[in-house]
């Protein structure tokens, strides 16, 4: 059986043109090295060296074998370096979900930018996915992790075995109003004054926890929204507001994707907030994921 040491010994003899010199450089006995070269030739079934009084030269077969040996050892070194980088999260791949309305948030963009600079050989694949679907895919190992909201306190106290999170920032609620509209020019002091106004809402079947969260906030303010339009996502909701179809209540993260014809207004009765987190499986041993989580945790700690 040919071993790596046979290849290294063979290349040393080929490079120095002398078994004696190669043995000296390799710190092995000359007879032992000569025997190794004979064994290698027998294993290959080919003569590798032409032996003479002044040393050895490569045969045609030996010259080709030298080329192949160098390529093999180069590939081996590259493989070792690659494994080393992967083991510390410097190379590999990350599959990350992201709720579409968070795609442009500065803190998320900054984390991705920092990770790219720290580990440029890790392929990061972002997949726009709503929060509920993200959790399902993370649990099923289809995603390594995701940027999402999955807890809407005080009512929703979601706990899933084997899931961990890094809290990134808090989102507060704002009124979304058509720019230049009657409501935008004179924002009601009490949310209850919006009782008869058309409200554009988020479909409950897509995000029941978020629906409960918004409903709870409205009840706290004495408002029972008149839901007349349903938007399948935040961008659609903001588009309907821009078209003058009604008002909405959205997360302040919408400021980064808000149409020009919509104004987002703080209201003293919109007091609740919800966290945005990076969520991942605790048993996921992907070194690139662990490196990314470490970066997020350090960033979160420094921002406190």
What digits encode the pLDDT tens for the residues 257-294? 899 999 999 999 999 999 999 999 999 989 999 999 99
The phi and psi torsions of 274 (rounded to 5 degrees) equal: -140, 150
Alpha helices in the chain (DSSP H): 4-16, 19-26, 30-44, 60-87, 106-118, 131-139, 182-185, 208-220, 234-242, 287-302
CA distance 262 to 265: 10
Whole-number pLDDT of residue 201: 92
- Interhelix angle for 19-26 vs 4-16, to 10°? 120
CA-to-CA dists, residue 128 to 145, 198, 289, angstroms: 12, 29, 18
Prediction pTM value: 0.71
- What's the CA gap between 149 and 277, in Å, rounded? 6
Query: Which residue is associated with the tokens 């180069």?
Result: 74
* C-alpha to C-alpha distance for 58 and 71, rounded to whole angstroms: 17
Please, are residues 275 and 292 in contact by the beta-carbon 8 Å criterion? no
pLDDT for the residue 249: 96
pLDDT tens for 41-93 read 999 999 999 988 888 999 999 999 999 999 998 888 878 877 776 776 667 88
Token pair belonging to 122: 């890790």
DSSP class of residue 165 equals E
CB 257 within 8 A of CB 106: no
Cβ proximity of 11 and 67 under 8 Å: no
| 129-148 b/e (C-beta count within 10 Å ≥ 16 → b) | bbbbbbbebbeeeebbbbbb
Strand partners, 227: 199
In whole angstroms, what is the distance from residue 34 CA to residue 206 CA? 74
Q: Which residues are paired to 51 by β-bridges? A: 56
Q: Which pLDDT tens digit goes with each residue over 173-216? A: 999 999 999 999 999 999 999 999 999 998 888 888 888 899 99
């Amino acid at each position: 059986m040919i071993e790596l040491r046979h290849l290294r010994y063979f290349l040393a003899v080929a490079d120095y043109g002398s078994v004696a010199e190669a043995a000296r450089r390799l710190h092995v006995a000359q007879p032992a090295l000569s025997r190794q070269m004979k064994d290698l030739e027998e294993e290959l079934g080919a003569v590798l060296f032409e032996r003479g009084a002044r040393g050895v030269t490569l045969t045609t077969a030996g010259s080709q074998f030298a080329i192949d040996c160098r390529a093999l050892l180069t590939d081996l070194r590259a493989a070792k370096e690659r494994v080393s980088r992967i083991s510390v999260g410097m190379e590999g791949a990350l599959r990350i979900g992201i709720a579409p309305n968070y795609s442009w948030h500065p803190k998320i963009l900054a984390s991705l930018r920092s990770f790219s600079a720290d580990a440029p050989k890790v392929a990061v694949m972002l997949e726009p996915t709503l929060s509920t679907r993200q959790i399902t895919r993370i649990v099923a190992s289809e995603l390594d992790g995701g940027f999402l909201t999955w807890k809407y306190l005080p009512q929703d106290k979601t706990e899933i075995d084997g899931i961990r999170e890094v809290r990134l920032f808090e989102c507060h609620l704002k009124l979304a109003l058509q720019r230049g509209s009657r409501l935008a020019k004179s924002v009601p002091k009490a949310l209850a004054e919006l009782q008869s106004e058309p409200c554009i809402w988020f479909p409950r079947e897509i995000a029941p926890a978020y629906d409960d969260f918004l409903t709870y906030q409205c009840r706290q303010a004495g408002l029972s929204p008149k839901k007349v339009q349903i938007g399948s996502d935040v961008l659609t909701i903001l588009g309907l507001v821009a078209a003058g179809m009604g008002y909405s209540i959205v997360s302040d993260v919408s400021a980064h994707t808000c149409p020009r014809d919509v104004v987002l207004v703080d209201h003293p009765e919109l007091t609740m907030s919800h966290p945005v987190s990076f969520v991942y499986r605790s048993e996921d041993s992907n070194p690139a994921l662990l490196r990314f989580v470490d970066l997020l945790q350090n960033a979160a700690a420094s921002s406190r």
